[in-house]
Structure 1
Amino acid sequence: MDFKSIDPMVPTLKGSYRFFCWCSGARLYLLKRCPTDFNVFFGIGMIVFLTGVMATLSGSYAFFTIFQNPYLAMGFGLFWGTLIFFFDWYLVSSLKKENKFIKELITASPRIILAVFLAVVISRPLELKLFESEINGQLETMSQEKYNKYKEVVGVSFIEVEQLQNQNKEFQRTIDELLTQRNMLFELLVEEAEGRSPIAKTGKGSVYREKKAEYDRVNKIYEEEKARLYPLIDANNRRLSQLKSERDQQLVSGNQTLRSAIGFLARLEAYGQLGEQNKGIRYTGWFILFMFICIETGPMFVKLISKRGAYDELLSLEEAKVISQSRQELTQISEKTHRLNTVEKMKSQARLDEELEYSKDFARLLVEAQAEVGREHIKRWKERELRKIDESLEDFQPTIEELIEEAKAYMKPN
């Protein structure tokens, strides 16, 4: 190649410039002939590529919240980013300029809807990362609320604990009431013995003996109830210890489960609650979503509002050539098929004519054979009849009509 013949002012597609033009979905072998369109497709390709990069970061974070494994999240993130990149690449490359804005807008509307959907999918994990600290605090609040509700549910399932505690309180109240009554009677008994009673008489008289009998009766009841109820209280306490241990284990297990439930869906729920509680967070999330919608739909709107350029003309010419060539090939195939069908029809007709001629020859031979058989039959009948005539000429003289009828009877085919 003579490098001196190359005009240094003519732009060429090289390196990263060529790569980003390819990212725009352009056919490079056509675009290199349209240097005025280089910057347009370079900008579109840059947006498509950076959207794929953002999708990779967003997908990596989303998968990390699910799997808690950085290497696995990175692999899924690269896969997701590549998928989004080629999806955008297809949406942009499939949109063609025809200088008919309404038609182009109708054609592009499904692609715009898909682009909006992709913007939502890409932006939401990034919003979760942006408000990660606030979401973590909300997750703690949510976990505590769920733990309290879970604690109530567990308490209902362990209703026996409350029943046993109430039963022990009732038993203890019965014992305490008897103890209080016994102590009061004992005080009265001491006062009576010491002369501090209203009677003011020292010694163990009749009143003292009455109070002593009442005290002994209450003390006996107290001892009996204590001997009966304390074993029940001890048994209830042992059952309570067992039930409380099981309840505490269940609560600890449930609390661990609730605190470990901080995956992607839980973060989405926490983010939604934050948006309801804080308008600033809600408006920021809408702004981020709107920004990604603009980024996703930007390349398509750029194509819609831009004028039809040299690249679009070359692309239309290329498509027209391919369509014309395809139609010519289809026409040739159709003509060849028609010729083959005509030849087959002629061959079929020739076979039919041959079979018809053969049928005619066969019919002619059959008719000749039948005629010959008839003549031979008449000849022999004639000879036989002549002999009969000779033998019975004297006795039988048939008429002409009888001879004709008999001859017809013999000539009928069998």
Structure 2
Amino acid sequence: MTFSRLQRFFWICAGTPLVMIEKYPTEYSKYSGIGATILFTALFAGLSGGYALYFVFAGSPFAELWSVLFGLLWGLAIFNLDRYIVSSIKKSSKGLKQFYQASPRLVFAVLIALVIARPLELKIFDKEIHEQLRARYLSDQKERIAKVQDSFRQKYALELAQIKTYQEEYDGLSHEVNRLREELKEEVFGSRTSTTSGVEGYGTYAKNKEQVVMVKQARIEFLASKLASLQEFMNQQKAVEGINNQMMLSDELLDRKAAHAGFADRNWALGELTHSSNDVSRSSADAIFFITLLFIAFECAPLIVKLLSDVGPSDVDIRESESRIIAQLVNPSLFSRNRLNREYRRPTSKITVPRTKRYFSNKRGAGRQG
């Protein structure tokens, strides 16, 4: 009977010897399904591993090459592990005992499914992760600017305090000089108020007010010069400390930074999507949960199929062959003695005595007679 190459390849993927499968036609479809599931799990693992490593070497000229090589290596490793896990399950046990024996393999399959699912989830939720990273980078930039400015204020606290003092005095004197100038104008024009004499002309009161205005104006000019020198000094120090270079990221820079984010940042963003309290995040969390369950079911499918299936003829054949080989290795003399008995047995008698025994018994009898 001829078999297609694809069918034989699936049988090889299932981990069961081809000789055992080919002897029993009822086993063809079962092992074809198991092998195909193992193969497609390995393909998903290769895609997942290559996509994850792509972000590790993002920006490198050989990022695509390294991701392809690692994807192939990771896919082959998962393929080998799945193939071994499925082939190591024996159908000799019954009921729950068989599930107890397979439980470590099931746990290992779940872990493999979680590792495979995470990078693919990152790709599925790429747009949501991009927006989450934009918000994080913008927040980080604000915090960074605030920390730099706070450090600068602590370092130059004395100069900033002087600037504040001079500025407050300058503002107060400017307001007072403006008020005195209005009073001087009213005094000259003879307007009578609580602060003017009401006598028109440039008299004694007007001269006194003008003198006060000139003194305060001189103080204002002095304060202005001090403020200018201090401001110039602080601007120079800001340039030295790099304060002037601290600016908010533009939309273009945010998009570029989010597009080249590493695996850790993207994994963090996906975790934030699942732990936030808004409706969009809850919906994303549910989707991620069901995708993970899908991969767990997909990874455990070959194990579950083999556990739930009845004992097939290939399973019985494999068990008996293993038992016979083990018995022969443990006590090879047993098989040699049986072959010797079969060789010297008389075909006409029901119970025969080996010639070796007859020979030794005759020899012992002759010795007694002598």
Range into which the TM-score falls when normalised by the shorter chain: 0.7 to 0.9
The answer for the alignment partner of 2:361 in structure 1 is: none
- Cα separation, partners in 2 of 1:261 and 1:149, compared to 1, 3 Å: farther
The answer for the alignment partner of 1:94 in structure 2 is: 88
* SS of structure 1 residue aligned to 2:23: coil
1:201 to 199, 202, 208: 199
Contact 1:34 1:310 in 2 (8 A): yes
* SS of structure 2 residue aligned to 1:247: coil
- Cα separation, partners in 2 of 1:295 and 1:187, compared to 1, 3 Å: closer
Return the alpha-carbon distance in structure 2 between the equivalents of residues 259 and 21 of structure 1. 45
What stretches of structure 2 of length at least 5 have no aligned partner? Answer: 336-370
Measure how far apart 1:306 and its partner are.
Answer: 1.2
Return the alpha-carbon distance in structure 1 between the equivalents of residues 95 and 245 of structure 2. 68
Letter in 2 for 1:178: L
Higher relative contact order (CA 8 A, sep 6+): 2
Percentage of matched positions with identical amino acids: 31
Letter in 2 for 1:52: A
- Cα separation, partners in 2 of 1:184 and 1:139, compared to 1, 3 Å: closer
- Cα separation, partners in 2 of 1:186 and 1:127, compared to 1, 3 Å: closer
Structure of higher CA gyration radius: 1
Correspondence 1:223 to 2:218: yes
Q: Deviations over 1:117-142 (max 9, x none)?
A: 11111111111111111111111122
The answer for the alignment partner of 2:293 in structure 1 is: 290
Q: Deviations over 1:207-262 (max 9, x none)?
A: x22441343144124314522x2332122212332344412425579x98985882
Correspondence 1:182 to 2:172: no
- Cα separation, partners in 2 of 1:196 and 1:250, compared to 1, 3 Å: closer
Measure how far apart 1:154 and its partner are.
Answer: 2.3
Correspondence 1:247 to 2:243: yes
The answer for the alignment partner of 1:270 in structure 2 is: 269
Letter in 2 for 1:72: W
> TM-score under structure 1 normalisation?
0.69
Correspondence 1:46 to 2:36: yes
Letter in 2 for 1:103: K
The answer for the alignment partner of 1:23 in structure 2 is: 13
Measure how far apart 1:74 and its partner are.
Answer: 1.3
Which structure features the higher share of helix residues?
A: 1
Aligned CA-pair RMSD: 2.9
> TM-score under structure 2 normalisation?
0.76
Contact 1:99 1:308 in 2 (8 A): no
Letter in 2 for 1:303: K
Letter in 2 for 1:192: E
Return the alpha-carbon distance in structure 2 between the equivalents of residues 71 and 158 of structure 1. 46
Contact 1:154 1:251 in 2 (8 A): no
Return the alpha-carbon distance in structure 1 between the equivalents of residues 282 and 42 of structure 2. 30
* SS of structure 2 residue aligned to 1:26: coil
Return the alpha-carbon distance in structure 1 between the equivalents of residues 64 and 306 of structure 2. 38
Letter in 2 for 1:172: Q
Letter in 1 for 2:169: T
Return the alpha-carbon distance in structure 1 between the equivalents of residues 114 and 76 of structure 2. 17
The answer for the alignment partner of 1:192 in structure 2 is: 187
* SS of structure 2 residue aligned to 1:171: helix
Contact 1:178 1:218 in 2 (8 A): no
What stretches of structure 1 of length at least 5 have no aligned partner? Answer: 1-10, 333-414
The answer for the alignment partner of 1:32 in structure 2 is: 22
